[in-house]
Chain A
Amino acid sequence: MKEHKYNLFWILGTTVPAVLFLTVVAYLPIFYAVSISFFKKTAFSATMTWIGLRNFLWIFEDGDFWAALGRSTFFTVGSVIVQLLWGLGVALLLNRSFRGQTLVRSLFILPYLLPTIVVALLFQWLLNQEYGVLNQILMQLGVIQLPINFLGGLQTSMYSVIGSVSWQYSSFVALMLLARLQAISPKLYEAARVCGAGPLRCFWDVTLPNLKSTLVLLALLRGIWMFNKFENIWLLTRGGPLKTTETLPIYAYRLAFEEFNFGTAAATCTVMFLVLVLGSIAYFKFFDPTREVEVGR
């Protein structure tokens, strides 16, 4: 009996601080945010009025919301595809021994760990219309005649943002894939080669099946994170020019902190969260990473 009480003291003593912090800084705020999406709540009124689903109806009738959802989808799918392809290419190139490989691999870790503000400032400078070095290189190579306004142009802004974000986050994909590549037994390749498979055949029949479950999981993780991205886009373009890069997080930010309408902003975030949950469930149903047959452990 005494032992039991002693254990209870330890259980409470160790977990209460974490539970308390999480409740105060995460669970309560999220609960509060979801609940204010059912209220009329602006920064100018201290009171909250229950209005049911009217915030949701309001955003569903707003053309900007649907446009932002479309841009979010394009940004998410586009940047995930670029990151997976670039990351896979880098991982395959790094998965061999060469002189200075430690240095090179460390270099590839860097972009992912850089503060976003650094990446944003750097790309604003590299892509600058007047003084940007990328425009200079392209003009010297004769690819373009006039400098391109990468971040400020209506046609180019979204692609520039996707490029910048992919430069930053591809290294995460590359590192995860590299780790998986190194776990593939060399015997599998030997066996394939003995059977007369060329490099392309080896990649298709040995490498890719082994990477499949990692790729499926990475696409989901990166997709969730890209869908929620705020600061990268905000710092590069503020959602402009003419809203061409205004995705859902930026739309929600504008509602909350430029129009001070917290109710509709919270409703937007709640919808985003539901989209992610339903999307993830559908994704798992479709791909089911656990169904994967384990090859070559």
Chain B
Amino acid sequence: MIPAPRSRRPLMILLFLVLVVVAFPFYWMLLSSLTPRTVLFQPPYKFFRLDLSLENYRDLFFATEFLIYLKNSIICAAGAILLNLFAATLAGYGLTRFTFPGKKQFAHGTLFSYMFPPMLLAIPLYIILSSLQMRNTYIGLILAHMSISLPLNIWIMWQYFQIVPISLEEAAWVCGASKLRALREVCLPSAKPGILSIAIFSFALSWNDFTFAFILQTDKNMFTLPIGLATFVEQTAIHWGMIMSSAVLVSIPTFALVFFLQRYLLSGLRVGG
């Protein structure tokens, strides 16, 4: 590697400073999560340490309801993925393969719902689900999560099926395949990247959601991770090391996503514009 020419050096220093602002919180989160409680409450801190321990993670798993929250979060996310895949894939296919009145309006209407304040959805959902005795249930929260993820998922699949050429299906029909078989064996496999992206999107929205879970789930046994973690701070003796270890664990899907998608994300950047 050729050393950076002189004129670039100030820019590299600037880049380094920006990098510190972005990366330091992550580093501090990880380091705090590995710091024993006794050390963590004796500032000033050292920025590099080797006396790490997994004590906080042990506390998190055995002294809190973290595993219950984790189970609830996984069930809700899985439900949201399944229902979103079912509804959005079919709708995307229908919107691109057939013509019918109101089609454009329907597709554009899905995006319009992005302007609605989440509170405008959360308040009526609270009233409706309460009267149906569906608060503190998985299906209630899954439906609430769908209200934010489904509109965009339909939009993504509608865009995606537009680039899956219809000639492929026509070829299948000519060979005597039924419409259903052509959809299943020709169209869906070519739409796989689109389907994967709406699955990821549905998962992320459900996994990250605080507002809906906070308003709808009041029973501690039905808490998802975000609202469960928020209660850790309300307890009298705040165990920051344990809280940071829970934050590390909840961010794992994010790190995994970026790790696996970095090539795709960056090549997408280069093409897109």
* Interface status of B174 (Cβ within 8 A of chain A): no
Q: Least Cβ distance of A129 to chain B in Å?
A: 11
Residue in B117, B118, B124 whose Cβ sees the most chain A Cβ within 10 Å: B117
Residues of chain B within 8 A of A51, CB atoms compared: none
Contact of A109 among B12, B25, B247, B265 (CB under 8 A): B265
Q: How many residues of B contact A (CB 8 A)?
A: 90
Does the CB pair A125–B244 fall under 8 Å? Answer: yes
* Interface status of B34 (Cβ within 8 A of chain A): no
* Interface status of A105 (Cβ within 8 A of chain B): yes
- Tell me the complex Cα distance, A184–B256, Å: 31
* Interface status of B76 (Cβ within 8 A of chain A): no
Does the CB pair B90–A179 fall under 8 Å? Answer: no
Residue in A111, A124, A230 whose Cβ sees the most chain B Cβ within 10 Å: A230
- Tell me the complex Cα distance, A86–B128, Å: 42
* Interface status of A145 (Cβ within 8 A of chain B): no
Residue-wise, chain A 83-118 has the 8 Å CB interface mask toward B (1 for contact) of 000000110011010110010111111110111111
Among the stretches B51-59, B190-198, B205-213, the one at the interface with A is B205-213
Residues of chain B within 8 A of A266, CB atoms compared: 120, 123-124
Does the CB pair A105–B204 fall under 8 Å? Answer: no
Among the stretches B14-22, B60-68, B162-170, the one at the interface with A is B14-22
Does the CB pair A14–B150 fall under 8 Å? Answer: no
Does the CB pair A115–B251 fall under 8 Å? Answer: yes
Q: Least Cβ distance of B40 to chain A in Å?
A: 7
Residues of chain B within 8 A of A89, CB atoms compared: 18
Residues of chain B within 8 A of A231, CB atoms compared: 210-211, 214
Q: What would be 20 A-B contacts, judged by CB atoms less than 8 Å apart?
A: A14-B90, A14-B98, A15-B106, A17-B90, A21-B87, A21-B150, A22-B110, A22-B150, A25-B146, A26-B150, A29-B125, A30-B120, A105-B266, A106-B259, A109-B265, A113-B254, A116-B208, A117-B247, A120-B230, A125-B32
The 10 closest A-B pairs by CB, nearest first: A14-B94, A183-B273, A18-B91, A29-B124, A25-B147, A269-B120, A117-B226, A231-B210, A115-B208, A33-B124
Chain A residues within 8 Å of B, Cβ to Cβ: 6-7, 10-11, 13-15, 17-19, 21-22, 24-26, 28-30, 32-34, 36, 89-90, 93-94, 96, 98-99, 102, 104-111, 113-118, 120-126, 128, 130-131, 133, 136, 140, 167, 171, 175, 178-180, 182-183, 224, 227-228, 230-231, 234-235, 249, 252-253, 256-257, 262, 265-266, 268-270, 272-273, 276-277, 280
Chain B residues within 8 Å of A, Cβ to Cβ: 1, 4, 11-12, 14-15, 18-19, 21-23, 25-26, 28-29, 32, 40-41, 43-45, 83, 86-88, 90-91, 93-95, 97-98, 100, 106, 110, 113-121, 123-128, 143-144, 146-147, 150-151, 154, 179, 204, 207-208, 210-211, 214-215, 225-226, 229-230, 232-233, 240, 243-244, 246-247, 250-251, 254-255, 257-259, 262, 265-266, 269-270, 272-273
**New contact pairs (11) apart from A24-B143, A128-B240, CB-CB < 8 Å:** A14-B98, A21-B83, A26-B147, A30-B120, A94-B15, A113-B204, A116-B210, A117-B230, A122-B247, A133-B45, A179-B269
